[in-house]
Amino acid sequence: MIARYTREEMGRVWNDANRFARWLDVELAATETLAEAGQVPKDAAAAIRAHAKVDVARIQEIESRVKHDVIAFTMAVGESIGDPAAARWLHYGLTSNDVVDTAQALLVRDASRLIERGLVLFSEVLDVRAHEFRHTPQIGRTHGIHAEPITFGLKIANWFAENQRNIARFRDAAAQMAVGKISGAVGNASHLGPEIEERICEKLGLKAVPVASQVIQRDRHAHYLSSLALIAATLEKIALEIRHLQRTEVREVEEPFGGEQRGSSAMPHKRNPVTSEQICGLARLVRSNLIAAFENVALWHERDISHSSVERVILPDSTILVDYMLAKMSTIVSNMRVFPERMQRNLELTHGLVYSGQLLQDLVEKGMPHDDAYKAVQENAMAAWEADSNFRERVAGDARITKYLDAKALTHTFDLQRQLRYVDAVFDRVFGAHPAGEKSAAGSAGKN
């Protein structure tokens, strides 16, 4: 991934030096475990631990000749050990993918910790802002058209709940990736045995897969990429909403705009939602990587290499992008400008039309046949819409309606707070009932 979208910590996870360092971690764990089992001389294992080093330039130079990265790695590390008698025990009993797949699990684990931290921090931001605007009225829109009143906090609570589900899904997917295999070229564990495999993986903080071919099966990786794609989709959903709410005609929300930021080279007045647009674009990349991950599941027999080149791209790129997108979206939501007065003005833009559903319900409750009530309400609503006139005044003058609802009843029908009376109850379901001002446990994954 290009540097523009790579944050420092995540970039370090995937650089060549760290990748080879994780390969060495696997080699060292294997050699020391075998030494403990009496299959490798203990002095050789100690020498390997003391002297084995990663030299990226040397590995790459050897690979340019031998055309095999793991062989190049073992040759370069063997040189660094210095003692040929000790170095010959490096990579003993292992095949390339015992090292590569197990080390990849370590890399994914490191990347996952950063992403999970970003997800939890994002939940905390959403929690704060949802409660800040819990009772800020806003018009709810369906098909882009005014529907019925909500609050802006309720909209953010929806984002929070979805992010909590993302945390749960991601934790499960990351756990399924935290496995290693040291079972040889076809998965039969014939060289070292299952017990040694389990002990090597345990030393690395991993579980040994119950069964493998030459590789860990790629359904795990597809599941992991799927969880990343869902996170990206959630971030895109929020970004798209902010873009719509920032439109000049709406202007209910605005993403942060820096003091020296410029929106257009030609139009100095422009304040564009460029970061939200960037997130929407990057989500497409993460989603596209999911297709490749699913296609990696099917390999020839016990293994071919078609998945390898793909994973060199999609695993680093997807984790790097999601890490970047989470950080950007947390900044947007934390610092976005919100305009409650504009929300109220937009809510009132249709002169009461948004209470038509409540009016229909109240008429039916008072005894008016449903179809008659629907026709009466719709006729008045369409007339008010076309003439840009006051819906409440129209229905107050319609004898079909006033036969069932007097002036006091109509006031109740057109009461905004009646529409919003269950917002607190919904919040309690999302965040858990807790005293006002007390921070909820945003990092827990159980709420949905």
Tens of pLDDT, residues 69-116: 999 999 999 999 999 999 999 999 999 999 999 999 999 999 999 999
What CA–CA distance (Å, rounded) separates 134 from 129? Answer: 8
State the pLDDT at residue 262.
Answer: 73
pLDDT tens, 187-229?
999 999 999 999 999 999 999 999 999 899 999 999 999 999 9
Q: To the nearest 10°, the Cα dihedral for 275, 276, 280, 282? A: 20
Place 448 in a pLDDT band, splitting at 50, 70 and 90. very low
State the pLDDT at residue 268.
Answer: 75
Which residues on adjacent β-strands are paired with residue 138? Answer: 150
DSSP string covering 166-229: HHHHHHHHHHHH-EE----SSS--TTT-HHHHHHHHHHTT-EEPS--SSS--THHHHHHHHHHH
State the pLDDT at residue 437.
Answer: 52
List active site positions: 143, 264
Place 17 in a pLDDT band, splitting at 50, 70 and 90. very high
For the chain, first and last CA: distance in Å? 33
State the pLDDT at residue 214.
Answer: 86
Joined together, the tokens standing for residue 124 give 């905390």
Residue 418 pLDDT > 50: yes
Taken in order 313, 319, 320, 321, is the CA torsion positive or negative?
Answer: positive
State the pLDDT at residue 447.
Answer: 43
Using left for φ > 0, alpha for ψ between -120 and 50, and beta otherwise, residue 67 falls in left
What CA–CA distance (Å, rounded) separates 307 from 278? Answer: 29
User: Across residues 133-151, what is the average pLDDT?
Assistant: 96
State the pLDDT at residue 446.
Answer: 42
User: Across residues 392-408, what is the average pLDDT?
Assistant: 95
pLDDT tens, 295-326?
999 999 988 888 989 999 999 999 999 999 99
Mean pLDDT of all residues belonging to the chain:
93
State the pLDDT at residue 388.
Answer: 93
Residue that the structure tokens 């008045």 belong to: 380
Residue 438 pLDDT > 70: no
Residue that the structure tokens 């960037």 belong to: 278
Place 55 in a pLDDT band, splitting at 50, 70 and 90. very high
Is residue 29 within 8 Å of 103, Cβ to Cβ? no
User: Across residues 379-392, what is the average pLDDT?
Assistant: 95
State the pLDDT at residue 271.
Answer: 83
Q: How many CB atoms are located within 10 Å of the residue 347 CB?
A: 19
State the pLDDT at residue 441.
Answer: 45
What CA–CA distance (Å, rounded) separates 177 from 53? Answer: 27
